[in-house]
Structure 1
Amino acid sequence: MDVGPVEAKTANGRLHLSKLVSASIIGIFAILLIGALYFARTFFLPVMLALLITLTFSPLVRYLRRHGIPSVVSAIMIVLAMFAVFGAAAYYLADPVSQVIADAPAVAQRLEERFAPLREPLRKIMSASAQLEQIAAAVSPATERVVVAQPGLAAWAADTLGGLGATLGVTLVLVVFLLSSGDLFLHKLVRILPTYSDKKRSVRVVHDVEFEVSRYLLTITAINICFGAAVAFAMAVLGMPNALLWGAAATVLNFIPYVGAAIGTGTALIAGLITYGSIGLALLPPAAYLLFHTLESAFITPLVLGRRLELNVVVIFVSLAFWSWIWGIVGALIAVPILVVVKVFCDSFPGLANVGEFLSGNNFTVEPAADQDTAAVEN
C-alpha cells in the first residue's frame, strides 16, 4: 500500500516518517516545552536550581561517603551551611536595602537636579509623544484607554524578595533529598543499560558533568566573592554609602557575563553623580568597578579556569536573553551554568561533538576524559 511522501513502511513493518514530519514534530515539542517552562516556572525553577546545586556538591558528598559520613548527614550539613550563608547575608543587608528604598524619593530628586540641563529636550520629546497620542485618539475615538496601576517600589521589592525566598526554600529542601539519594539514580541507570560499554559511558558522563560543573560553579563563586569584596573595599575608600551592599550587588551581578558589568558600572556612575559634586570625582566609582571587572574577566578567571569551558559570546547573549525571559533575574543568573552543563554533556558524546564545538568559544576540540570509575559499574 502506498502511504505517500509523508510516511512509509520499512521492511520490518515499522512506520518511517519523512524529514519534514520529523522536524515538525520536534518543532512542536520545542514550542510546548518552552511554554511549559514559562507558565510552570514556579515548579521548574526550584527543580533546575536544585539540580545545579546537586551537581555542584555531589563530588563532595561522594568524597565524604567514602570516608564514612552518610550521604544524608553530609547533605543536611551542606544545606544548613548554605542556609546560614543566605541568612547572614539577608541579616546584614536588610538595613542597607531598607535605607536605599527609603531614600529612593530623595535620590530621584537629586537625579532630576543633576540632569536639569536635559530637562528641556526631554520635555520637548514628551510633548511630541503626547501630540502623537492625541492624533491617534482623534483617528480612533472609540478606543478606550486602560491604565494599570503599578505597585510602588517598596511593594515591588517585598514581592520580589518574597518570591525569591520561597523559591530558595523549596530549592534547599529538594537539594537535601537529591544529595541524600547519593548515586541511587546512577545505579538504576547502570542496571537498565544493556551493554557493559554503555554502563561505563553512563558512569563516566555523569561523573564528568558533576566534576566540571562543580569545579566551574565553585570557582566562579569564589572569584565573584573576591570581586565583590574588592568593589566593597573600593567603594568604602571612595566614601560611597552602603559599601557592603555594593559588594553584595557586585558579587551577584558578576554571575551575569557582560550585562552584569554594564549594570554595575552604570549604577556606580549614577551613584557617583548623586554622591559627589564634581564630574571628576563622580567618575571614580565606575572607573574602579570597571577596573576590577577587567582584571577579573581578562586575567584572573582565564588563569584559574583555563579555556576548557570557554563559551561562545553569541550563545551566551542568546542564553541570557532566553532564560531571563523565561525565569527573570534567577534565569539570568543560571543561564551560563546551564550552558556549561550542556557543553560538558555534548563533549562527552561523539555524536554531539558538533554542538559542543558550536557552544565553545575556542578553536580546539575538547577531548572526553579517560574512562574512570569503572568500579561503580561493576557494583
Structure 2
Amino acid sequence: MSPRPAQSTALIVIAVCAAVWLLQTASHVMAPLLLALVVGIVTAPVGDLIEKIGLKRSVSAFVVLFCALSAVVLLGLLLVPVITDAVEMAPRIKWELRKFIGTLQPAIESVSDMQASIEDSLTPGSDPVPTATDAPSLTDAIWLAPGFFAQVMIFAGSLYFFLLSRNDLYRIIARNTARVSEEVLCAAERDVSRYFLTITAINAAFGLVIGLVMAALGMPNPFLWGLGAFLVNYLLYLGPIAFAVALLIAGFVTFEGAWSFLPAALYLSLNATEGQFVTPSLVGRHMSINPLAVFVSLIFWLWLWGPVGGVIAIPVLVWGLNLREAHTGPEPDSDTTITSVAAE
C-alpha cells in the first residue's frame, strides 16, 4: 500500500471512530433527532396526502406530528400495566425458573452443584413465598423527567420542521452534493416509506393473530402479548428471539409440564410462517439486502442507542442502500430479501 492510500484509509477510520464517539456521547440529542428524521421520512407520504386535500404544509406537518405523539402516548399507556405486572411477577418468575431447573437436576449430573445452591436458597420444608421487588420511586421519576421531556421536545421540533421544509432541505443537499439529486432523495424516501408502512401493516396483523392465539391458550393479558409481538417484529432476528424467551418464561408461570412450551412454540411457528411466506410476497423482492448487513446494522444501532437504535436501524440501512443503488444501479440477482431471512 502506498503512503497516500494508507493516509486516506487512516483518515477514514479516524473519521468513522470520531462519528461513532460523537453519536454515543451526544445520544440524548442525536437519538431523538435521527428518530424524528426517520419518522418524518416514513410519514412524508401521509403529509403529502393531507396537502392534496387542500391544507397548508404547516397544517399537514402538525397533523402528522400530533398523530405520532398520540401513538407514542397510547403505546406508553398500554405498556404501563405490562411493566407493572412484570415487576410484581418477578419473584414468582424467579421461583418458577428455579423450580423448572430443579426438575431437570436428576437427569443432568453436571448441574448437581447448582441444585445444592438452589435448595440452600429456598426455605427448607415449605414453599417459598415470593416477595415484592422495589419499583422505581417517585423521586427517581422526578429526577429523570426533565431529560425525558427535553428529548420529546427535540423529537417533536425536529419532526415538525423536517416535514415543513424537507423539499427545501433536499434541494440544498442536491445543490451541494454532485452525486445526489433531489429526485434520488425523493425516491429513497418513497422506498423507505413504502417498506416501513407495509411492514407496519404486516406486523399489526401478526400481532392480532398472536393475541388471538394467546387468548385461545388462556395466557393472561393476551392482547398485550399481541402488542408485544407487533413491536418486537420490527427488530429482525433479535426481537422474535427475545419475545420467544419471554413467552417461554410466561409459559412456566402459567402452565404446568409440557404445556409450558406451547406459547413459545406456537409463536415461533407463526413467526417463521410470516417471515418466509407472508412478508416476502407483500414487500416484494426489490428490497434486497444482505442478511449480514441487516444483522450488523441492528447490533450497531442497538449498542449505540438501545431500543431507539433498533427502531431506526433498518430504515436507515434501506435509505442508505437506496441512495447507493441510485448511482450504481440495482445489482442483478442480489442477495435474499431483507424480510425473507427474518425467520431463518
TM-score grouping bracket, smaller chain normalisation: 0.7 to 0.9
* Pair 1:102–1:317, CA change in 2 (3 A): same
Instruction: Tell me the alpha carbon deviations over residues 7-29 of structure 1, each in whole angstroms, 9 at most, x when there is no partner.
Output: xxxxxxxxxxx111111111111
* Pair 1:270–1:218, CA change in 2 (3 A): same
Matched with 1:278 is 257
Residue 268 of structure 2, aligned match among 290, 313, 320: 290
Aligned length: 313
* Pair 1:241–1:334, CA change in 2 (3 A): same
Letter in 2 for 1:178: F
Question: How many percent identity over aligned positions?
Answer: 30
Matched with 1:12 is none
Instruction: Tell me the alpha carbon deviations over residues 103-138 of structure 1, each in whole angstroms, 9 at most, x when there is no partner.
Output: 21122122212221356855636999xxxxxxxxxx
Contact 1:343 1:359 in 2 (8 A): no
Letter in 1 for 2:34: M
Superposed, which structure 2 residues align to 1:346-357 within 5 Å? 346-350=324-328, 357=331
CA drift of 1:231 comes to 0.9
* Pair 1:347–1:32, CA change in 2 (3 A): same
Instruction: Determine the C-alpha separation between the residues in 2 that align with 1:311 and 1:193.
Output: 25
Contact 1:343 1:360 in 2 (8 A): no
Instruction: Tell me the alpha carbon deviations over residues 247-306 of structure 1, each in whole angstroms, 9 at most, x when there is no partner.
Output: 121111101111211112222122112211121x22221122112212211111101110
Matched with 1:81 is 67
Matched with 1:330 is 308
What is the RMSD computed on CA atoms of the aligned residues? 3.0
Instruction: Determine the C-alpha separation between the residues in 2 that align with 1:204 and 1:34.
Output: 29
CA drift of 1:56 comes to 1.1
Matched with 1:46 is 32
Letter in 1 for 2:162: L
Matched with 2:136 is 155
SS of residue paired to 1:224: helix
Contact 2:233 2:239 in 1 (8 A): yes
Instruction: Determine the C-alpha separation between the residues in 1 that align with 2:90 and 2:252.
Output: 15
Higher mean displacement: 246-255 or 163-172: 163-172
Q: Unaligned 5+ residue runs, structure 2?
A: 118-132, 338-344
CA drift of 1:236 comes to 1.1
Asked whether 1:261 is paired with 2:249, we answer no
Instruction: Tell me the alpha carbon deviations over residues 215-251 of structure 1, each in whole angstroms, 9 at most, x when there is no partner.
Output: 0111111111111111111111101112132112111
Matched with 2:225 is 246
Contact 2:92 2:253 in 1 (8 A): no
SS of residue paired to 2:55: coil
Letter in 1 for 2:201: A
Superposed, which structure 2 residues align to 1:120-269 within 5 Å? 121-122=110-111, 124=113, 154-155=135-136, 167-189=151-173, 202-269=181-248
Contact 2:35 2:308 in 1 (8 A): no
Contact 2:240 2:271 in 1 (8 A): yes
SS of residue paired to 1:155: coil
Q: Unaligned 5+ residue runs, structure 1?
A: 7-17, 129-151, 364-379
CA drift of 1:347 comes to 0.7
* Pair 1:204–1:105, CA change in 2 (3 A): same
Superposed, which structure 2 residues align to 1:26-105 within 5 Å? 26-105=12-91
* Pair 1:20–1:166, CA change in 2 (3 A): same
Contact 1:315 1:359 in 2 (8 A): no
* Pair 1:209–1:22, CA change in 2 (3 A): same
Instruction: Determine the C-alpha separation between the residues in 1 that align with 2:164 and 2:308.
Output: 25
* Pair 1:193–1:316, CA change in 2 (3 A): closer
Residue 361 of structure 1, aligned match among 319, 335, 340: 335
Instruction: Determine the C-alpha separation between the residues in 2 that align with 1:154 and 1:317.
Output: 34
Letter in 2 for 1:96: V
